[in-house]
């Protein structure tokens, strides 16, 4: 436990020593804030148009759940931004240890691979929380200025989804980082992989054969959609948790393999 905490603590501190974390956070806040504004104004405009149209035709206006619509689009945007910024956070996690030779310190210390990996993963997940935290402000505004007050649960479920998606991307990113000594290579491969997981979703929509079904199941976005809509379904939870477990498991294999192969 102490080893795990020591690794997590150090890793989290290290993230904030260099400029990367700050740049990533700033970019994330800026882009997510900008999109929140755009989404909100767009949807309000739509609502007004619909209201005007219904007045012209004398029919009662089609009801629109504005907060739900805004949050759905906003969580969609969050997932896309995470796709871009998370590889930058995971790229160096293990690659840099290899390059600097500090992996030699870690491997010759009385810690297990599990302690090492979970420590690093925890630090990254904490970073993810730090990154997502300020966007709560958007939701708070939306929540308190909507009339009638929307339900709270969909917001929480949406955040749970963003957190799970982000964490599973982090687990995959750590795995990629353990395959190379080069941060840039690690970042590029991670990004390419994330992007293919995104594209998988678009491809899955194209048809309904078994192939498409499989792709739909594997697509990280497909599982995210329900969360963004405020619907909680355990199958999605299972999907993300297994992705995290698999990612970390493969990382531990890759970390221990050079010990045997070299």
Partner 1 sequence: MIQVEHLSKRFGPATAIDDVNFEVRQGEILGFLGPNGAGKTTTMRILAGFFPPTAGRAVVAGFDVFEKPLEAKRRVGYMPEQPPLYTEMTVDSYLRFVSRIKGLAKDRIDDRLKRVKELCGLEGTGERLIKHLSKGYKQRVGLAQALIHEPEVLILDEPTVGLDPKQIIEVRDLIKGLGGDHTVILSTHILPEVSMTCERVVIINRGKIVAVDTPENLTNQLQGGARIELELRGPVDSLQSLLTPIPHVKGIVVGAPHEGHHSVAIETDGTQEVRHIIARKVIESGFELYQLKTQSMSLEDIFLQLTTKEEAA
Structure tokens at 241: 């948790």
List 108, 209, 234, 235, residue binding partner 1 (CB under 8 A): 108
| Residue 260 contacts partner 1 per CB under 8 A | yes
Best CA proximity match to 178, nearest among 85, 83, 86, 258: 258
List 46, 53, 112, 211, residue binding partner 1 (CB under 8 A): 112
CB of 115 to partner 1, least distance (A): 9
CB of 16 to partner 1, least distance (A): 10
Residues 54, 62 contacting (CB under 8 angstroms): yes
List 44, 65, 66, 107, residue binding partner 1 (CB under 8 A): 107
CB of 254 to partner 1, least distance (A): 14
| Residue 18 contacts partner 1 per CB under 8 A | yes
List 41, 45, 100, 114, residue binding partner 1 (CB under 8 A): 100
Query: How many chain residues touch partner 1 (CB under 8 A)?
Result: 26
| Residue 53 contacts partner 1 per CB under 8 A | no
Q: Which class for 83: exposed (0-12), middle (13-18), buried (19 or more C-beta within 10 A)?
A: buried
Best CA proximity match to 14, nearest among 122, 99, 104, 123: 123
List 58, 60, 63, 110, residue binding partner 1 (CB under 8 A): 110
CB of 123 to partner 1, least distance (A): 13
Residues 197, 221 contacting (CB under 8 angstroms): yes
Q: Which is nearer to partner 1, 63 or 110 (CB)?
A: 110
> At CA 15, angle to CA 13 and CA 20, rounded to 5?
150
Q: Which is nearer to partner 1, 98 or 223 (CB)?
A: 98
| Residue 262 contacts partner 1 per CB under 8 A | yes
List 58, 63, 101, 148, residue binding partner 1 (CB under 8 A): 101
| CA–CA dist 170, 87 (Å, integer) | 8
> How many other CB atoms are found less than 10 A from the CB of residue 196?
11
Residue 166 Cα to chain centre, angstroms: 2
- For 129-151, letters b (16+ CB in 10 Å) and e give eebbeebeebbeebbeeeeeebe
| CA–CA dist 162, 222 (Å, integer) | 13
Q: Which is nearer to partner 1, 113 or 146 (CB)?
A: 113
Q: For residues 131-170, which are near partner 1 according to CB under 8 A?
A: none
| Residue 176 contacts partner 1 per CB under 8 A | no
DSSP state of 259: H
CB of 78 to partner 1, least distance (A): 30
End-to-end CA distance of the chain: 30
| Residue 102 contacts partner 1 per CB under 8 A | yes
Which residues contribute to the site for partner 1 (CB under 8 A)? Answer: 2-3, 6-7, 10, 13-14, 17-18, 100-112, 258-260, 262
């Amino acid at each position: 436990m102490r080893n795990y905490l020591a690794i997590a603590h150090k890793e989290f501190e290290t993230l904030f020593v260099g400029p990367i974390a700050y740049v990533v956070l700033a970019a994330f806040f800026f882009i997510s804030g900008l999109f929140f504004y755009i989404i909100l104004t767009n949807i309000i405009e739509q609502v007004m148009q619909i209201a005007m149209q219904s007045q012209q035709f004398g029919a009662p206006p089609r009801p629109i759940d504005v907060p739900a619509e805004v949050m759905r689009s906003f969580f969609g945007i969050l997932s896309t931004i995470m796709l871009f910024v998370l590889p930058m956070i995971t790229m160096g996690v293990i690659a840099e240890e290899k390059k600097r030779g500090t992996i030699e310190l870690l491997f010759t210390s009385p810690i297990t691979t599990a302690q090492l990996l979970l420590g690093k993963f925890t630090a990254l997940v904490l970073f993810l929380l730090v990154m997502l935290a300020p966007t709560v402000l958007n939701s708070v505004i939306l929540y308190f200025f909507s009339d009638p007050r929307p339900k709270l649960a969909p917001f929480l479920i949406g955040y749970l989804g963003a957190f799970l998606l982000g964490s599973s991307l982090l687990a995959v990113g750590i795995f990629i980082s353990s395959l190379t000594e080069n941060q840039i290579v690690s970042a590029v491969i991670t990004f390419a992989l994330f992007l293919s997981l995104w594209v998988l979703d678009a491809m899955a929509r194209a048809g309904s054969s078994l192939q498409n079904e499989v792709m739909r199941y594997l697509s990280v976005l497909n599982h995210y959609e329900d969360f963004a809509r405020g619907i909680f379904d355990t199958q999605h939870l299972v999907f993300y948790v297994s992705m995290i477990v698999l990612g970390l498991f493969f990382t531990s294999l890759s970390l221990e393999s050079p010990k045997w192969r070299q």
